[in-house]
Structure 1
Amino acid sequence: MTLLIIGGTGTLGRQIVKKAVEEGFKVRCLVRNRKKGNFLQELGAQLIYGDLSIPETLPLCFKGVTSVIDTSTTRPDDIKNLNEIDCDGKLALIRVAEIVKVKRFIFFSILNAEKYPDIPLMEMKVKIEETIKNSSISYTIFRLAGFYQALINQYAIPVLDQQPIWTTAESFPLAYIDSQDAATICLKSLLIKNSVNKTFFLGGPKLWVSADIIQVCEKLSGQKAKLKFIPIAFLKFVRQFTNLFEWTYKISERLSFVDLLEEKNNFSQNKLSLYQIFDLNEKDFLSLENYLQEYFERILKTLNDLNFEQTSKQRDLIV
């Protein structure tokens, strides 16, 4: 089976590439810049030039391809690329996949995207979902809440550097997942008939709020976090004025995501379908506690080693 992976250099994409090669799949990665994708070639993937903003470059990428895995996502404030890549480019990708009759198209979307049509990225995700579902392609769609990896810059590093963490007082739970676990489930879906033409919520076994994540980071780092609270009502108030001026447009796009903080999901019901069809249980997932523990152990060891080297150099100078 030959896989064409879109977004292979991203957080999730690189994990899918690595695991797919390890499991014996032939992996082809669509890349615009071969230099940036060299590490994928070192993992065992074949690099092929293709640009979603230039649809005519896509057909040749599909030669011999069995399935497509699309993990790519443009930044939510990059409106130009949202239109060219996440909309026009993805629509062209689906058309080619339909013409060559790929056996499966796996698409990664965002949880509850259909509830936020005012957010361009969400609107694009929903449009692509609907296009795939209305095509003749067999598909599997995964809707993500968030990755553990994103929490490092958001919480872990600020705690270590004693930098303020900006958070909302009204914190709602999200089911974060490790990107490696997401990659495992993605590839498993290619072998499970019951996953065909279905949409799944893809999240970890536990719900997390900001306060709990910060508490874990404090415990593992041995440092107290510096918190700065922002009421959601204030963010909404600010958002009302950011559309008035052209220079504030990107700020407005980012603030649009404050609505997601108020979204409450039926977590148990959403994960039940995934767990049953994929024969999963909580032990199959890396816990956030263990993920953060591994991160802090590596960082603290590195810091201790650096301190030891600096101390040794200072002693040598004194001698």
Structure 2
Amino acid sequence: MPIEIVELNHSLIREASLLLAGYRAEGGWDGGHAEECEAALLRLLEDAHTICLLARHQDEYAGFVTYHWGFSTTKGLPILKIQDVYTSPKHRNSGVGQALLQHTVELARERGAHRLQLETDTGNLPARSLYEKLGFEWISQKEVYMLPLSRWRMRTFGQKSDGLDYARRKGCYAVIFDEDKQQVAAVLTAAGHYFLPGGGLEDGETDHECLRREVLEETGYAIHIGSLIGEAERYFLSSRNEPLIGDGKFYTAQFAEKVQDPAEDDHSLQWIRVEEADNLLFHEHHSWAVRCARAANSDV
């Protein structure tokens, strides 16, 4: 039976997430969190530079390859960089991995690329054998260096209920400690809920633009933005029983000068003790961000 190659789209997220969960589990990750896999693939679809292809074999989705385009400065030509290749155990030795790789080779040729390149573990002998069979060469003179920019991965909180259509709400939030690092800034709403300062990302905004605007509206203060803490999401029902996913990026920050009075009358700036954040903050992923920020700095 021929192997069909299709590009990932929103209708295939569920099938692709099952493959990603298997890939993560084999790599030592906890592959059991389907929500995390779905969220990762949704973010991939939003990235204009990254493509995921799925292989369909025997009426099942059997594997995937992800790739992105680079550019050779010296040659003045594109480079196709393969990020991940995976075949589910059931479909191994059936040509799925080879079909995915051959498809990317054809894409690179069509675009006039100078080369394809990928990385693999030195002990992954089956993969290395396949790459060499397809003409890939091991470049012994090259070394791979990585600079990890964060110690986090996407965390998921809350319980996803079957049968509900969740809408994703992206936002950016600030973890701001006081001078003694014993208290963290929070915004108290008229409903009596505490949130980290920040809010929803508007069309065309960068994370920093969103964060500065939201904190200014809620507190009246300008801020100095520090480093990215991480990204996390929470499944929950709104006060109007809307199924939502709160997808937040969290940054360390400091208050600068006060610029104006808060623009939102039903929001007030409060300082809560760090050890009380878990109990007071409405969203679990907000309190998670406070814990991460505190642990990241021995002075906090």
| TM-score (ref. length: structure 1) | 0.26
Greater per-residue helix proportion: 1
Larger Rg: 2
